[in-house]
Amino acid sequence: MLPAAAATPRTLLALDGGNSKTDIAVVLENGEVIARQRSGPFIPHLIGAAAAVELLADDVATALASAPDGIVDLAVGYLANADLPIEEERINEAIVAHGWAREVVVENDTLAMLRTGTSAGFGVAVVCGAGINSVGVGPDGSRVRFPALGRISGDWGGGLGISKEVLWYCSRAESGRGPATSLTDAVAAHFGLPNAVAVTEAMHLRTIDFDRMHEIVPVLFAEARAGDPIARAVVARQAEEIALLVTTSLRRLGLTDGQPEVVLGGGMLTSGESLLVDPVIDAILAVAPGAQITIVSDAPIYGSALLGLEALWASDLSLTDEERDSRRTRLRESLRTSERKLT
Kindly report, residue by residue over 93-152, the tens digit of the pLDDT.
Answer: 999 999 999 999 999 999 999 999 999 889 999 999 888 999 999 999 999 999 888 888
User: What local confidence, expressed as pLDDT, does residue 20 receive?
Assistant: 82
User: Does the pLDDT of residue 2 top 60, yes or no?
Assistant: no
- Do the strands 104-108 and 123-128 form a parallel or antiparallel pair, or are they unpaired? unpaired
Give me the half-sphere count of Cα atoms (radius 13 Å) on the Cβ side of residue 31: 18
| Rounded Cα–Cα distance for residues 235 and 228 (Å) | 11
| Rounded Cα–Cα distance for residues 134 and 157 (Å) | 13
- How open is the CA angle 190-43-116, to the nearest 5 degrees? 85
- Single-letter amino acid code for the residue at 89: E
- How open is the CA angle 73-78-83, to the nearest 5 degrees? 135
Q: Are 101 and 68 in contact (CB under 8 A)?
A: no
Confidence of residue 7 (pLDDT cuts 50, 70, 90): low
Q: Are 134 and 124 in contact (CB under 8 A)?
A: yes
DSSP for residue 257: S
Q: What is the mean pLDDT of residues 70-77?
A: 96
User: Does the pLDDT of residue 294 top 80, yes or no?
Assistant: yes
Residue 16 CB-density burial (10 A; 0-12 exposed, 13-18 middle, 19+ buried): buried
- Single-letter amino acid code for the residue at 94: A
Helix/strand/coil for 23: strand
User: What local confidence, expressed as pLDDT, does residue 237 receive?
Assistant: 98
Q: Where are the alpha helices (DSSP H) in the chain?
A: 44-47, 49-54, 57-64, 85-98, 109-117, 158-175, 183-191, 196-205, 216-225, 229-253, 267-270, 274-287, 301-313, 321-342
The residue count for the chain: 343
Structural element, H or E, at residue 298:
none
Q: Are 256 and 286 in contact (CB under 8 A)?
A: no
| Rounded Cα–Cα distance for residues 13 and 244 (Å) | 34
Q: Using alpha carbons, list the distances in angstroms from residue 138 to 244, 255, 262, 339.
A: 18, 8, 12, 32
Percent of the chain with pLDDT over 90: 86
306: nearest Cα among 318, 319, 324: 324
Confidence of residue 341 (pLDDT cuts 50, 70, 90): confident
